């Protein structure tokens, strides 16, 4: 459980900001909290709120935000060897709570603790999320309460870009990550005229391919 | 203003979709191996989609009706660079905010 502690420090400001950004976009307290409880995924929630306020078709707002969460399939795949034989309802609970921080801390720990049983691993996972996820919910609510009191002069329109860029900086670990991020930025500006903000999704998919291709070539170079 | 029907379609759709993505291997596929090329693409989703979302907001902010804005651009650049070099999300957000407000005050 202790390993979850540093992460609530990261989650809390994002939760507060999501609450603020959500109310700025015109959502009420219940909408904002529902977002956090139903979706439980910061970056996708920010994306969804931004796109919803841009008057584009609902389906495209949904698809683009869902694309941000494709990484969860990778998390799910990496935890399966460790938790695959747990009862179905427990695996479903793990899936619901499988946020970035919980995955990061569990995946590294499961790899180290080779003698752990599935039950030990489940206990570790739930212990970790117990000190992270409640902060996400409560932080969202507090942010929404505070957000409705902040006047527009504070340029909160830009809280979202700064907030998500802060997540991206540390994620740029390799040349492939940088290549993907750069492709995405340039292409999304080039394609900004595409109808219904489809440029975001197109640029994103193209950038994923570029990232994967750079990784493949670099591995071949080392071999 | 966000239309409430669209809002709930997105909240519920994104909730079901995100859960399905998290559950797909743990719950359904079990321990069958996943092709390496799929995993390789999934690794880059976050660093691909998020910059695609943010780049137009940075270069053409909605608050200035799409006009390039020096304070917002520099704040974004500082947040990204501080995040990249310190690997610290909090410092990055703080640095971005501390760049934005004085510049908005001076130039705005």
Question: Is B70 at the interface with chain A, CB within 8 A?
Answer: no
Q: How many domains would you assign to chain B?
A: 1
Closest partner residue to B76 among A77, A161, A199, by Cβ? A161
Query: Percentage of chain B with pLDDT > 90?
Result: 48
Range of the domain at A193: 173-223
Q: Determine, yes or no, domain membership for B101.
A: yes
Q: Is B2 helix (H, G, I), strand (E, B) or coil?
A: coil
B29–chain A nearest CA distance, Å:
9
Asked if residue A184 and residue A164 are part of one domain, the reply reads no
Q: Measured on CA atoms in the order B56, B101, B91, A7, is the torsion positive or negative?
A: negative
Q: What chain B residue is nearest to A167 in terms of C-alpha separation?
A: B89
The pLDDT score that the predictor gives to residue A1 is 46
Q: What chain B residue is nearest to A37 in terms of C-alpha separation?
A: B15
Q: Measured on CA atoms in the order A169, B74, A18, A209, is the torsion positive or negative?
A: negative
Scanning B83-102 for CB atoms below 8 A from A yields: 83-90, 92-93, 96-97, 100-101
pLDDT one-digit tens code per residue, A12-37: 888 888 998 898 888 999 999 999 99
Asked if residue A153 and residue A183 are part of one domain, the reply reads no
Asked if residue A96 and residue A177 are part of one domain, the reply reads no
pLDDT one-digit tens code per residue, A175-207: 999 999 999 999 999 998 887 778 888 999 999
pTM over 0.90: no
pLDDT one-digit tens code per residue, A104-133: 788 878 888 889 999 999 999 999 898 889
Asked if residue A153 and residue A53 are part of one domain, the reply reads yes
SS3 sequence of A39-88: HCCHHHHHHHHHHHCCCCCHHHHHHHHHHHCCHHHHHHHHHHHHHCCCCH
Asked if residue A111 and residue A221 are part of one domain, the reply reads no
* CA separation for the pair A65, A54 (Å, rounded): 13
Q: Both tokens of residue A198?
A: 């489809």
Interface with chain B: mutation pick from A73, A107, A177, A202, highest number of B CBs within 10 Å: A73
Q: Determine, yes or no, domain membership for B39.
A: no
Q: How many domains would you assign to chain A?
A: 2
Taking CA A115 as the corner, what is the angle to CA A113 and CA A120, rounded to the nearest 5 degrees? 75
């Amino acid at each position: 459980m202790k390993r979850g502690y540093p992460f609530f420090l990261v989650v809390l400001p994002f939760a507060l900001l999501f609450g603020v950004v959500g109310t700025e976009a015109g959502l009420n307290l219940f909408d904002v909290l529902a977002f956090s409880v139903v979706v439980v995924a910061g970056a996708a929630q920010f994306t969804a709120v931004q796109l919803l306020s841009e008057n584009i078709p609902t389906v495209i707002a949904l698809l683009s935000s869902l694309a941000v969460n494709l990484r969860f399939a990778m998390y799910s795949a990496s935890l399966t060897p460790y938790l695959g034989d747990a009862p179905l309802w427990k695996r479903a609970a793990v899936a619901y709570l499988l946020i970035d921080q919980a995955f990061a801390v569990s995946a590294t720990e499961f790899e180290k603790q080779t003698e752990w049983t599935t039950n030990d691993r489940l206990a570790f996972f739930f212990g970790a999320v117990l000190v992270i996820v409640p902060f996400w919910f409560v932080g969202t609510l507090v942010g929404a309460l505070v957000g409705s009191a902040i006047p527009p002069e504070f340029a909160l329109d830009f809280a979202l870009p700064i907030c998500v860029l802060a997540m991206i900086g540390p994620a740029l670990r390799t040349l492939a990550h940088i290549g993907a991020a750069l492709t995405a930025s340039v292409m999304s500006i080039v394609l900004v005229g595409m109808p219904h903000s489809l440029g975001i999704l197109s640029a994103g998919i193209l950038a994923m391919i570029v990232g994967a291709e750079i990784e493949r070539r670099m591995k071949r170079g080392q071999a | 203003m966000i239309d409430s029907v669209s809002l709930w379609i997105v909240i519920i759709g994104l909730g079901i979709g995100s859960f399905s993505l998290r559950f797909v291997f743990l719950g359904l596929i079990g321990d069958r191996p996943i092709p390496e090329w799929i995993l390789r693409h999934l690794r880059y989703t976050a660093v691909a989609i998020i910059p695609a979302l943010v780049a137009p907001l940075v270069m053409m902010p909605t608050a200035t009706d799409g006009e390039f804005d020096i304070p917002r651009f520099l704040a974004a650049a500082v947040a990204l660079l501080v995040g990249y070099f310190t690997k610290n999300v909090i410092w990055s957000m703080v640095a971005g905010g501390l760049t934005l407000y004085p510049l908005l005050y001076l130039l705005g």
